[in-house]
């Protein structure tokens, strides 16, 4: 079920940053108290293959997000200690040394479960041990949430593990939503900052289509 248009869950989660100190982060409160947008991206596991390429891509674009009044937060179900080890391992050794934004450590799966992004298979019953076995890795898909200054989700995307994200698209969507917030004008397909927008009436759409 889509969460677009709804408030982000009001849940506090352990987090880690490059300084190596564990602290608590409530994404909803981060947006509201700082009057900033938030891009929260979930990845399956630390010390993997596609994941570090995404974390470094967000780091390379960090100033662009900050210039757009947006906080970047990464997240997985790994522990804060594993995050710390990854943050202090060099890129040459499979680490993400140099990443400066915080990483959530949703080890109890409270937040990811509420968002509905865990890779969980069906339950099976083992007669020999008389136990219920849960199939699936119980880690998250690659899920991304864009959250506005009031804590409302205005965009979400979830995709499978093998496919990495396109970070410029999130920057574009933040630009488009910010433009709508400021001017009340809507943004057509493939819109980029500085291009023509639309007013919500048929004449505006007709004129736009005729000129493109």
Active site residues: 51
Instruction: Count helices and strands (H / E) in the chain.
Output: 7, 9
- CA–CA dist 86, 89 (Å, integer): 5
User: What number of residues does the chain have?
Assistant: 212
The span from the CA of 185 to the CA of 181, in Å, is 8
Q: How far apart are the first and last CA of the chain?
A: 35
Query: Burial letters for 58-79: b for 16+ Cβ neighbours within 10 Å, e otherwise?
Result: bbebbeebeebebbbbbbbbbb
What's the Cα-to-Cα distance from 20 to each of 63, 104, 125, 160, rounded to whole Å?
22, 13, 41, 30
């Amino acid at each position: 079920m889509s969460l677009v248009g709804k408030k982000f869950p009001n849940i506090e989660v352990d987090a880690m940053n490059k300084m190596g100190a564990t602290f608590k982060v409530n994404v909803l409160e981060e947006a509201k108290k700082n009057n900033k947008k938030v891009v929260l991206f979930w990845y399956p596991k630390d010390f993997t293959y596609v994941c570090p390429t995404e974390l470094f891509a967000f780091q390379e674009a960090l100033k662009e997000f900050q210039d757009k009044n947006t906080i970047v937060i990464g997240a997985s179900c790994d522990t804060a200690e594993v995050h710390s080890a990854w943050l202090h391992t060099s890129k040459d050794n499979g680490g993400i040394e140099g990443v400066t934004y915080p990483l959530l450590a949703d080890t109890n799966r409270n937040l990811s479960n509420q968002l509905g992004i865990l890779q969980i298979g069906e339950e099976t019953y083992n007669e020999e041990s008389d136990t219920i076995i849960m199939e699936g890795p119980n880690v998250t898909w690659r899920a991304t949430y864009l959250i506005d200054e009031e804590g409302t989700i205005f965009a979400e995307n979830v995709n499978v593990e093998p496919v990495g994200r396109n970070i410029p698209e999130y920057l574009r969507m933040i630009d488009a939503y910010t433009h709508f917030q400021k001017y009340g004008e809507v943004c057509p397909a493939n819109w980029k900052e500085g291009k023509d927008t639309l007013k919500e009436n048929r004449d505006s759409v007709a004129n736009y289509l005729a000129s493109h």
